[in-house]
Amino acid sequence: MPRTYTGKNVTLLTLARQGIISEEMRQVAEKENLSPQMVMEEIAIGRLTIPANINHKSLKPIGIGSACTVKINANIGNSSLCSDETCELEKLDITVRYGADTVMDLSTGADINKIRAAIIDQSPIPVGTVPLYQAMEIVEKVTDLTPEMFLEVIEDQASHGVDFMTIHCGLLLKHIALTKKRLTGIVSRGGSLLAEWMAFHKKENFCYTHFDQILEIAGRYDVTLSLGDGLRPGCLADATDEAQIAELNVLGGLVQRCWDAGVQVIVEGPGHVPMHQIEQNIRMQQEICQNAPFYVLGPIVTDVAPGYDHITSSIGAAMAAWYGASFLCYVTPKEHLGLPGPEDVRQGIMAYRIAAHAADVARQRPGARDWDDKLSAARYKFDWAKQFELAMDPERARDLREESLNFQEHGTSQFCSMCGPKFCAMNITRRLEKLTKDM
């Protein structure tokens, strides 16, 4: 039975604690090869979330948590400098077509309501936002913003069907001084805006002081709160510093407040982190935030490759997911350089799907490696059609095959162009099998 607006807490967390298995839980259980009972129990203890606003009618729910496959998010959205509704819907189409599990609309320019409404209407995957970005369109400068304005934006977005929202509620006034030692300061949009507001008014972060009101709104629509990392490191030099850890400790307390209020929650993490610090970051979050699902941006493992940060970050993402992160926010080649276009979105998604699947294999999730083994068997048989069918990006694999061989037999030949017919190791191995069958 569909959940409808009642003005009261209607979250899946509340239902799970009552022992009720919802349709969303059943659908996630089927996708993840889990029992509905297990999904319900994991939600009830906060280790699994299903971002599913009651007003997102086209949604096909997904599960985020340690019991599920690793999920990836794609960011889209216009800016004050470029893009429009048509372009953002094209990005959404690519996001869905190439297999992202969720999408965040980070629009900051004109027509935010119109773009977001179109995305929610057409998206079968959960849609996230950062309400502070839209709140900034109400005022000339951030210091003019009031808590009441911010809460109105959250209510508006929740009523329209946003499934999860990033709220930068862990960055406190006392933390700002800790960032003065940093090489790149505060790199989070939301974090920097709130820091300026706090420094100007000499008041505490209104996302923190008004957290109960935010929880009340989230509970009425079942908006999953994504506790934002406003002090995430923006370079390797700032990774795992005092400011980042201070904010994480606050987020740990807010996780418990979400659970106490019956609101689903995930926790956001860094950022830029060298490889040898990634495991430490995951372990800290798991301990401080009581195993609430961890949502990491990357992390980017080296700062010297602008234009290739979908690669530098997917390395960190695979490691973070292997150590226990449940949710990966993609990075595109345009990171640090400009607003991603459709092809950047595709490249970011594919890099992160690879990272997520590699982590599922490393975590020995039942059935994860079956996909790899099936493709390998098809490769050994030179079954090109099956290889393309099983490929993560069939179109890309087929295009490269045709481009490489450039003749009609590209789909039937018993070799690839790298080795050619004479030096194909798999053909040689087949002959070897015949020669040694009696050995």
Going 9 to 15 to 21 to 27, the CA torsion angle's sign is positive
Task: Enter the DSSP assignment of 78.
Answer: -
The Cα–Cα gap between 183 and 236 comes to 9
3 state SS of 76: strand
- How sure is the predictor about 416, in pLDDT bands with cuts at 50, 70 and 90? low
- Check whether 68 has a pLDDT greater than 90: yes
pTM listed for this prediction: 0.93
Instruction: Kindly state the average pLDDT of the residues 173-179.
Output: 98
Predicted local distance difference test score (pLDDT) of residue 2: 76
- The set of residues, in sequence order, having a beta carbon less than 8 Å from that of 408 and lying 6+ positions away, is none
Q: Give me the count of residues in the chain.
A: 439
Of the candidate ranges 103-112, 229-238, 268-277, 371-380, the one whose mean pLDDT is the lowest? 103-112
The Cα–Cα gap between 342 and 94 comes to 7
pLDDT tens-digit series, residues 197-220:
999 999 999 999 999 999 999 999
- Check whether 421 has a pLDDT greater than 90: no
What is the bridge-based pairing of β-strands 48-49 and 64-65?
Answer: antiparallel
Q: Which of 120, 127, 112 is nearest to 78 (CA)?
A: 112
- How sure is the predictor about 413, in pLDDT bands with cuts at 50, 70 and 90? low
Tokens 């039942």 — which residue? 366
Predicted local distance difference test score (pLDDT) of residue 434: 82
Report the mean per-residue pLDDT for the chain: 93
pLDDT tens-digit series, residues 88-136:
899 999 999 999 999 999 988 777 888 899 999 999 999 999 999 999 9
Predicted local distance difference test score (pLDDT) of residue 427: 76
Largest CA distance in the chain: 85
CA atoms within 13 A of residue 429's CA, in its CB half-sphere: 8
Q: Which of 345, 348, 343, 340 is nearest to 83 (CA)?
A: 340
3 state SS of 49: strand
- How sure is the predictor about 188, in pLDDT bands with cuts at 50, 70 and 90? very high
- How sure is the predictor about 418, in pLDDT bands with cuts at 50, 70 and 90? low
Of the candidate ranges 99-103, 122-126, 277-281, 376-380, the one whose mean pLDDT is the lowest? 376-380
Q: What angle do CA 302, 307, 310 make, to 5 degrees?
A: 65
Predicted local distance difference test score (pLDDT) of residue 7: 84
Predicted local distance difference test score (pLDDT) of residue 24: 98
Instruction: Kindly state the average pLDDT of the residues 19-26.
Output: 97
**Tokens (6 digits) for 162:** 């946003």
